Amino acid sequence: MEKTVKVLPLKCPHCGQEISIIIDVKLHESAKPETVAITAKDVEEVLPSQYVKLLTIKEHESSIWLIPISYLGKQKFKEILGYVKEKLHGRYVSKGKQSYFEIPKLQPTAKTE
């Protein structure tokens, strides 16, 4: 556990006397957000194989891009977007024919309690 102590000087609004308040805060380790780095291989394992073959996967400095090889259609697009948003914390970047799904390399870890 991480411990933080703060001393706050206050002035009483009624009598004007200086009062020091000591605040002792303990942060539990599980309160800190933890992340794990993922690779293109990890993304391939999360996505169903029928969708992986429809996408070109490219690693960039801080993200992984899933670029459609051709038009996906409404149903496949929605299903891939569901995986990208819910399981991989990513988003869709709309740029016409240069559109892609973007997944951050740093992913939050699952909490186990």
| Per-residue pLDDT tens over the stretch 87-112 | 999 999 999 989 999 999 998 876 54
| Per-residue pLDDT tens over the stretch 38-52 | 999 999 998 999 999
Q: Where are the beta strands (DSSP E) in the chain?
A: 2-11, 18-27, 35-37, 55-59, 63-68, 91-93, 100-104, 106-108
Distance CA 42, CA 40 (A): 5
Number of C-alpha atoms within 13 angstroms, CB side, residue 19? 10
- CA 73-75-79 angle, to 5 degrees, is 115
